Chains A and B, each alone.
Chain A
Amino acid sequence: MTRPETTETQQTVSLTIDGSPVEVRPGATLLEACRQMGTEVPTLCYLETLTPVNVCRICVVEVERNRTLVPACSRIAEEGMVVKTDSDRVRHSRKMILEFLGSSVDLSAAEDEVGEWMEQYEAEPGRYGPQSEPTAAGERDRRHPGHHGEVNGRTAEGVHQPTKVDNTLYVRDYSRCILCYKCVEACGIDAQGTYAIAVAGRGFDARISTEMDLPLGDGACVFCGNCIGVCPTGALMFRSEWELRRAEMWDPDTQEVTRTVCSYCGVGCNLELHTQDNRIVKVTSPQDHDVTSGHLCIKGRFGYDYVQNLGDVDRSSIDEVLAKARRPAPE
């Protein structure tokens, strides 16, 4: 055997992105390469802390000699690749994906970038017609694969349905669900290891579900809230946030975020307490925090009631709304 080749040649991979050369570490994705050179690539189902599922396809880029576009979030950079991130084909697919989502899902509580991309790619979700009527509670959860009802094309079919409110801690509004699989990954293999939720059904009727569509409390859920932490569209929401939004009192502009360390145990999880009117309205953990990667347990996520007493004599209206969040069923 000859001496092993100097590893120098393998230390970086060179490719061209939008005409500029770039060198990345071996194993880096095209997304990483793009970010390294400051090229913006939209993502929805990708998160640094989760295994890429590459299903939303918003991150597609054009790679020379590939018949189709490729997902930047999961395609590994190869030596000599020639990548375009803003070609007509790329722009067209991104625009259509945004239109498909915008015409079928309620994106009003989605991350701010989504609205910006809609403008940037000139997406017009409205051109598929008016939204179809929301389905009755549980109807989508009972659909059998392989069949669907009459289609007349007068409306654009969507996933709109009543919010699932079955506990006091968080709600599931699957009208807002883009099926990015992030919550499934966070609940299962990538963080929590509980596997309380999975994708059920098939095709347009596919949905996030517990086993047999059980209420959360009757299944395996341990209420760590990690699924809420990763949801990009507000489909999973603190009950407190949901109640405040219903009362039209949710006001992010006046909210403050205080960083602290969870006092329940000695692990040292960082918490971000979101307060409005001095009331804690939701709790997150920084995604880049090396202890939590954004994930918490039920105590850190929801166990904040002991620091605020909503039963005070001098109840302001926010307290009344937050008190509603303590009742099992919505009013």
Chain B
Amino acid sequence: MDLRFTDAQPTAAEREAVESVLGPAGVESHQRVRTASNLRIFATGMQSVADRRHLLLPALETVQSEIGWVSEGALMHICRELSVPPAEAWGVATFYSLISVDPSPPVVLHICDDIVCRRAGALELMEGLEANGRTPATRWLPSPCLGQCDRAPAAYVQRAGEEDQVLSSIDPASRPIGPDGSIPSTNGQTDTSAVPQAGEPHLRLLRRVGTVDPRSLDSYLDAGGYRALEEAVQMGPAALVAEVKASGLRGRGGAAFPAWIKWEAVANSPDPVRYLICNADESEPGTFKDRVLMEDDPFSVIEAMTISGYAVGARQGYLYIRGEYPLATRRLRSAIHQARRAGLLGESTRNGVSFDIDLRRGQGAYICGEETALMNSIEGLRGEPRNKPPFPTVSGLFGKPTVINNVETLCNVLNIVTDGGSSFAASGTPQSTGPKLFCLSGSVRRPGTYEVEFGATLGDLIALAGGLPEGRRLRAVLLGGAAGSFVLPDLLEMPLTFEAASEAGVSLGSGVIMAFDQHTDFGDILARIAAFFRDETCGQCVPCRVGTVRVEEALARIRRDPQPGDLELIEEIDLAMRDASICGLGHTAAIALRSALELGLLE
């Protein structure tokens, strides 16, 4: 391959940023080491992959975060260093909404105007900012759901050369950022977390949340941490897979697929090189449960990944986390670092397990939560889903057998190991075993992440969140997120189990329960959902790339002046998207909309 680059050169600062990821220019990758102070160098564990293309996104991300945008000089420098064709790198850089290829001010505010935040004052907030204009020091952009719906409205702040952060519970009447890019200290919470149930004795997934120090390995060890890994090593990989099978654990990322089927397939693969991926992209609007686990109990995620990697014979794990989760990212990075230092992670740990973890940050793309898009994203390609088959258990990351599971799915493995698979299976219902996290938001008194045993009803969950505020009546619930569907209060008695949901023709999705009261403008909510899918489709396949646009247009017509045949048109588009699209985004993009129209929520 004879690549051609333009003459553009990086600035000294850009060069330094790239070097912090790729190591000094011109040095072979196997000679580069990860230093304690610099966790960004990703050379370890990758010796088997000659290609360094997978470093493209980390390099772009670092330039973005250090400099504030990716210039032609920086892009060319990265391309030369990694031998990536510039046109392809351009295709990758322009795929992500958090990467800017245009000059940007040092502070960029991404204000969430998604379903919950827009009902909590985000539009007002943006109007205020619009009126005040944009300054050379700051710019703001609307953002899809930031996973902070329990503390709406929220914003994610990128700051060139400084740590990024999240603002939440912002006062809509305020100006969250000064003209010089400063954030008034009185405005909104920044980077805090807690769960309403913290400390309650029945909790299993959330038992350490709010009670142990998420920054300290010692605190985790004192609370019983890493006992599961010890037990796991005594059991051995085969027994672990058997326990997971006995537990009946099903995926918590949305598809509810039995975990053991993937695990067994990879564990039995003839290929010795395998990978484990923890899917922490959590971008489904209304979802914020994984964030709680990662922010407040990060070591449990690391321990769970280690056990899972050991069980399926993977020596390298990847944790792919959405870019808009800076606090979780910092805590996980610190947890990985501490675990490595304590001999609990790395080449050969004190348990005799060889397993290491690379943390990769997404850069603003909902589609990268789709498992194969996520793999392409790690590999330095555009985050476009792959056609299946082949499935990831056969040909996943770097073409190798791969287990990919959601954060919450993996965290359940700790309890399965310590309590046994059959004890796990004894809780919940026969087909929906164990505990489950639900994300309550919208019109409830105490929004937040709640843990229940499978079997609790929709009404139970809303009651847990304190019910609706004074004077509010429940009109509808969005169940499962933007990719889920609306249901009416007549389903309050429905147990939130996979089987009951599927019988009712709905899905639990990622555990979203978004409550809407009688004052809701559903037309506005539906328009936002349609806009979301149109913004977030990767654009690869025709049914979804154009279908999402046509749905949005049809909805605009319905809102203005409903005509006979409008609903039928949306049904026709939906049918083609479900049947002919490549991935789950296209398959589910019109479901919520159709359900709302069929339930008459627009009338």
> Do A and B actually bind?
yes
Contact of B579 among A92, A100, A193 (CB under 8 A): A92
Q: Is the CB of B542 within 8 A of A178?
A: yes
B88 at the interface (CB under 8 A from A): yes
Query: Known contacts being A92-B579, A128-B550, A195-B88, is A100 close to B542, with CB within 8 Å?
Result: yes
Q: Given the complex of chains A and B, what is the CA–CA distance between A218 and B542 in angstroms?
A: 31
Q: What string of 1s and 0s marks CB contacts (under 8 Å) between B253-283 and chain A?
A: 0000000000000000000000000000000
Interface residue range, chain B: 35 or more
Max count, chain B CB within 10 A of own CB: residue among A56, A68, A103, A201: A68
Q: How far is the CB of A139 from chain B (nearest CB, A)?
A: 14
Q: Given the complex of chains A and B, what is the CA–CA distance between A127 and B102 in angstroms?
A: 38
Q: Which of B579-600 contact A (CB under 8 A)?
A: 579-582, 587
CB closest residue in chain A, given B95: A202
Q: How far is the CB of B594 from chain A (nearest CB, A)?
A: 15
Query: Known contacts being A188-B85, A195-B85, is A220 close to B575, with CB within 8 Å?
Result: no
A219 surroundings in chain B (CB, below 8 A): 4, 6, 86-87
Q: Is the CB of B556 within 8 A of A57?
A: no
Q: How far is the CB of B453 from chain A (nearest CB, A)?
A: 30
B463 at the interface (CB under 8 A from A): no
A117 at the interface (CB under 8 A from B): no
B360 at the interface (CB under 8 A from A): no
Q: Given the complex of chains A and B, what is the CA–CA distance between A151 and B552 in angstroms?
A: 7
Q: What string of 1s and 0s marks CB contacts (under 8 Å) between B544-571 and chain A?
A: 0111111011111100100000000100
B406 at the interface (CB under 8 A from A): no
Contact of B581 among A57, A178, A211 (CB under 8 A): A57
Q: What is the number of contacts between chain A and chain B, taking CB atoms within 8 Å?
A: 200
A200 surroundings in chain B (CB, below 8 A): 87, 90-91, 94-95
B143 surroundings in chain A (CB, below 8 A): 146
B89 at the interface (CB under 8 A from A): yes
Q: Given the complex of chains A and B, what is the CA–CA distance between A71 and B365 in angstroms?
A: 25
Q: Given the complex of chains A and B, what is the CA–CA distance between A144 and B365 in angstroms?
A: 12
Q: Is the CB of A156 within 8 A of B538?
A: no
Q: Is the CB of A101 within 8 A of B546?
A: yes
Query: Known contacts being A93-B543, A103-B546, A197-B87, is A214 close to B6, with CB within 8 Å?
Result: yes
Q: Is the CB of A100 within 8 A of B387?
A: no
Q: What string of 1s and 0s marks CB contacts (under 8 Å) between B370-389 and chain A?
A: 00000000000010000101
A145 surroundings in chain B (CB, below 8 A): 94-97, 364-365, 535
Q: Given the complex of chains A and B, what is the CA–CA distance between A203 and B365 in angstroms?
A: 11
CB closest residue in chain A, given B93: A200
Contact of A204 among B548, B576, B581 (CB under 8 A): B548
Q: What string of 1s and 0s marks CB contacts (under 8 Å) between B206-225 and chain A?
A: 00000000000000000000
Q: Which of B216-263 contact A (CB under 8 A)?
A: none
Q: Is the CB of B535 within 8 A of A198?
A: no
Q: Is the CB of A146 within 8 A of B364?
A: yes
Q: How far is the CB of A214 from chain B (nearest CB, A)?
A: 7
Q: How far is the CB of B383 from chain A (nearest CB, A)?
A: 8
Query: Known contacts being A145-B535, A146-B144, is A96 close to B548, with CB within 8 Å?
Result: no
A198 surroundings in chain B (CB, below 8 A): 85, 87-88, 90-91
B129 at the interface (CB under 8 A from A): no
Q: Which of B505-552 contact A (CB under 8 A)?
A: 531, 534-543, 545-550, 552
Query: Known contacts being A55-B540, A179-B539, A193-B1, is A100 close to B87, with CB within 8 Å?
Result: no
Query: Known contacts being A97-B580, A153-B556, is A148 close to B97, with CB within 8 Å?
Result: no
Q: Given the complex of chains A and B, what is the CA–CA distance between A214 and B90 in angstroms?
A: 11
Contact of A56 among B541, B547, B578 (CB under 8 A): B541
B72 at the interface (CB under 8 A from A): yes
Contact of B90 among A58, A193, A211 (CB under 8 A): A211
CB closest residue in chain A, given B4: A220
A205 at the interface (CB under 8 A from B): yes
Q: Is the CB of A93 within 8 A of B550?
A: no
Pairs A–B under 8 Å by Cβ, sample size 13 = A54-B387, A54-B541, A100-B546, A100-B550, A128-B553, A129-B553, A144-B102, A148-B534, A156-B553, A201-B95, A206-B538, A209-B94, A212-B101
List the interface of chain B (C-beta within 8 A of A): 1-4, 6, 72, 75, 85-91, 94-97, 100-102, 141-144, 364-365, 382, 387, 389, 531, 534-543, 545-550, 552-557, 560, 569, 572-573, 575-576, 578-582, 587
Instruction: Please give me the 4 A-B residue pairs with the lowest Cβ-Cβ distance, nearest first.
Output: A146-B97, A195-B85, A153-B556, A206-B539
